[in-house]
A and B are shown apart, each in its own frame.
Chain A
């Protein structure tokens, strides 16, 4: 991918040129969020599960090295090859080396945000290896040479007409046929041929179990399994934070994951890979790529609890109205805005400002990450590290973005009111130029919009 020079506000402004599209994006993601609410509210123990998940992840963070070593030992006993990659480069090289050894230059890949983070496709392409993404949404954006705009719904920024045009161009489907059933059937046929002819498959990892050395992959489409069970070589890439202690902890995480993501009670497939099938080679690549640094940052280590459900995206008034591509990083949304500056503060200095700090993300997060507080803390870190000028400029831009988009600021306003009342220090801080010159001791009784109008006079 080319070096990004534009910041979130500029890219969001581009996305906002197509108003009806933005409205659709906003409403569709809110609908997904609503489905999540219904699923969550069905379980009386929902909050207890969130506490448990967060507690188990606290234990994981505090005992990470021992769990990883135990996992490796078990996985090796299970006949799996375990590799360790300190950074993205090493991850990509390890995978290329495995493929080279088998003389393989074509691979299918199911969803793995880690490989996006490492720019694996690009790397392998440069080394003469073709990678086909097999998740439908990912295949659509791959054909269009775009990155995914959402970690669960990779093509959510597109309409069926776009998909139809893309398929017409690349898969020679009937022009103007926009029926999702027809388009999905075309993709099924197209990708089935790939599954049946590729000798290597790469999958992500949703959970890796220290106790047993197995790993679990969740999909609705079945693409991870179609790839892995037909390939001679199965490679699974995982960030080291995917580890959980016991198999029975899956009960907690699988109950939370899909309900938070799409409102389904579970994904169609939850596949437990323990040993390679006879004659197959299985590899796991455990990746650091800045995670150990994040683990050492007391204020930000909780971000490593993330199970990638994207609930924080769907609820975020800024994400919904600025689109995933405006975050110019593999993982967009509120959590991506915490993870990206850890990788590169300079390139991603704008992201912690792409938020109203309304706190809705933290409220929906199934593992109870204090997302909005971390965004606020990043602003402070960036300020301390010589970004104060930049911070003001970015924050101003962020507010300008929020205030010039009524839907964002109405939603932000409703939650913002609660926020100002309950967590006043967050908004009334030296870094936020909007509040700097304005004394704001009391939460406004009127709406944020009215308050703003009055104060502007």
Chain B
């Protein structure tokens, strides 16, 4: 006996007989019939972070997951370091005016395929997470969605005080954000699909650098 298959089919057949034609209505009805009695969702308590120094934790974790991290005092230092680290880069882009001297500001309405030759993409980020090394980037900072992926290297600039301990803290901040697209990015693109050997640079950036402005 193939009970499950029959059950589903029977249930759907019965619903269709009742005059429910669309799969949508049939699915919602079948689900409603079969779901258990209502159970309240637990509330998420405030967990005390298991580390004291969020800045140190952030830097340690990011390094451990293959990222590069610099603690700097100002934008001049960042620009100098980018120039040193990416000396051979031909195409550097940023939507941040501060980097106008070293990066071109692209037209966000361009076809995204046109960004295939970008060497370095520099972006700001309003939020970073100490426990996992991630930065949060939404379409507000980065209007071209594909850029942080298609660029060979990604640079993110954060402020020390925008590092929160855990993901709970992060979602408390972004709970009501209105974005069209947003991402947490933690380190460079990576894969271990060949014999579990870690390789940096699967499809996205091979290098991910975070500058933390210490103020």
Residues of A at the B interface (CB closer than 8 Å) are 28, 31-32, 42-45, 48, 51-52, 55-56, 58-65, 68-69, 72, 84-87, 90, 134-137, 140, 153-156, 158-160, 163, 180-181, 183-185, 188, 191-192, 195-196, 220-223, 225-226, 229-230, 240, 245-252, 254-255, 262, 264-275, 277-278, 286, 288, 290, 292-296, 298, 301, 341-346, 385-386
Contacts and interface: CB of A to CB of B under 8 A. Distances in A.
A341 B4 contact: yes
Contacts of B175: 246-248
Interface in B171-188: 171-172, 174-175, 179-188
Contacts of B171: 247-248, 250-251
B204 A52 contact: no
Given A135-B193, A155-B193, A221-B189, A296 B183 contact: no
B193 A230 contact: no
A136 B191 CA distance: 8
B47 A270 contact: no
Contact of A59 (B40, B167, B190, B201): B40
A355 to B, nearest CB: 19
- Of the candidates B2, B44, B166, the one having the most CB atoms from chain A within 10 angstroms of its own CB is B44
A44 B180 contact: no
B149 A225 contact: yes
Interface residues of B, number: 81
A237 B192 CA distance: 25
Contacts of A230: 112-113, 146, 150
A188 B41 contact: no
B101 interface: no
A288 B27 contact: yes
A270 B186 CA distance: 9
A266 B186 contact: yes
Given A56-B41, A184-B194, A293 B34 contact: yes
B79 interface: no
Given A180-B195, A220-B189, A296-B33, A250 B167 contact: yes
B202 A345 contact: no
A240 B129 CA distance: 30
Q: Which 4 residue pairs are nearest across A and B when measured between Cβ atoms?
A: A222-B204, A296-B34, A221-B202, A137-B193
B181 A277 contact: yes
B134 A266 contact: yes
B118 interface: no
15 contacts: A42-B50, A48-B45, A63-B38, A86-B27, A137-B193, A160-B194, A180-B197, A225-B204, A229-B145, A251-B44, A266-B134, A270-B134, A274-B182, A343-B4, A345-B4
Interface of B: 1-5, 7-8, 11-12, 22-24, 26-42, 44-45, 47, 50, 61, 65, 109, 112-113, 116, 129, 131-134, 145-146, 149-150, 166-168, 170-172, 174-175, 179-197, 199, 201-205
A225 B145 contact: yes
B60 to A, nearest CB: 11
Secondary structure of the A contact surface, majority rule:
helix
A406 B196 CA distance: 25
Given A286-B27, A298-B36, A221 B8 contact: no
Given A63-B35, A290-B4, 4 more contacts: A61-B35, A65-B32, A250-B171, A344-B5
B39 A251 contact: no
Contacts of B191: 136-137, 184, 220-221
Contacts of A385: 1, 3
A247 B174 CA distance: 9
Given A188-B201, A196-B116, A222-B189, A183 B149 contact: no
Given A45-B47, A62-B39, A225-B204, A180 B194 contact: yes
Contact of B12 (A86, A137, A192, A221): A86
Contacts of B167: 250-251, 254-255, 266
A70 to B, nearest CB: 11
B187 A55 contact: no
A181 B168 CA distance: 36
A229 B146 contact: yes
A63 B36 CA distance: 8
A339 to B, nearest CB: 10
